[in-house]
């Protein structure tokens, strides 16, 4: 065994930290329910916002101003994607 390999093994095993599985504390089920409700409320608000922007498109297209709300429309769609993927994003960021 080379000296560098021995040094690597010593550092690796000396600094190895335990990596336990995440376990929710007792009584934490209510938080999951609240988060589920928040996700549904967010998606409902996003759908209503998309309908509102579509109505703005409809009224403003007659006046030749229909393209002014494209940024709002794209921002709402990005928000919908983030809300829908919230669980996966948190899992990715936290490394779970």
Give residue 45's pLDDT.
86
Query: What is the pLDDT averaged over residues 67-78?
Result: 80
The whole-model pTM stands at 0.56
84: tokens are 């829908």
Give residue 11's pLDDT.
67
- Specify the length of the chain in residues: 96
- For the stretch 3-56, pLDDT in tens is 777 776 766 676 666 666 777 778 777 777 887 788 888 888 888 888 888 888
Helix, strand, coil shares of the chain, percent, nearest 5, are 80, 0, 20
């Amino acid at each position: 065994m080379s000296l560098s390999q021995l040094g690597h093994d010593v550092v690796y095993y000396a600094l190895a930290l335990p990596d336990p599985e995440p376990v929710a504390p007792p009584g934490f089920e209510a938080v999951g329910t609240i988060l589920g409700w928040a996700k549904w409320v967010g998606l409902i608000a996003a759908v209503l916002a998309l309908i509102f922007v579509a109505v703005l498109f409809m009224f403003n297209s007659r006046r030749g101003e229909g393209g002014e709300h494209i940024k709002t429309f794209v921002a709402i769609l990005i928000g919908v994607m983030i809300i829908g993927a919230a669980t996966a994003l948190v899992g990715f960021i936290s490394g779970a």
